[in-house]
Amino acid sequence: MCRPKSGGLALLLGVRLPSPVDMQVAYGLGMPAVEFETLEDNIARVTLNRPERLNAIDGSLIDGVDDALNVLSGGEFRVAILTGAGRGFCAGADLSGTGEAWTKAKPTTPAFKINYDSQVRLADLFTRIYELRIGLVHEVVAPDDLMPAALRLARSIAENNAYGVWQTKIGLNAALDAPSLRHAIELENRTQILSGFTNNPLEAAKAHQEKRAPRWDPL
Tally the domains of the chain.
2
User: In a 3-state reduction of DSSP, which class is residue 77?
Assistant: coil
Looking at the structure, tell me whether residues 79 and 187 fall in a common domain: no
pLDDT at 159: 85
Q: Which residues pair with 46 in a beta bridge?
A: 36, 82
Looking at the structure, tell me whether residues 94 and 176 fall in a common domain: no
HSE of 183, CA atoms in CB hemisphere, 13 A: 8
67 found inside a domain: yes
CB 57, CB 90: distance < 8 Å: yes
Of 114, 133, 158, the position where a domain reaches its end is 158
Domain that holds residue 200: 162-210
- Walk along the chain (219 residues) in steps of 10 and give the mean pLDDT of each run: 30 30 43 88 90 91 91 84 87 83 87 80 79 61 82 85 86 83 80 83 83 86
pLDDT at 48: 93
Instruction: Read off the pTM.
Output: 0.58
pLDDT at 49: 93
Distances (CA, A) of 187 to 156, 180, 194, 203: 25, 11, 11, 23
- Comparing C-alpha atoms, which of 65, 62, 61 is closest to residue 26? 61
pLDDT at 133: 57
Looking at the structure, tell me whether residues 66 and 127 fall in a common domain: yes
pLDDT at 64: 92
> CB under 8 Å to 35, separation ≥6 — which residues?
16, 21, 22, 45, 46, 47, 49, 85
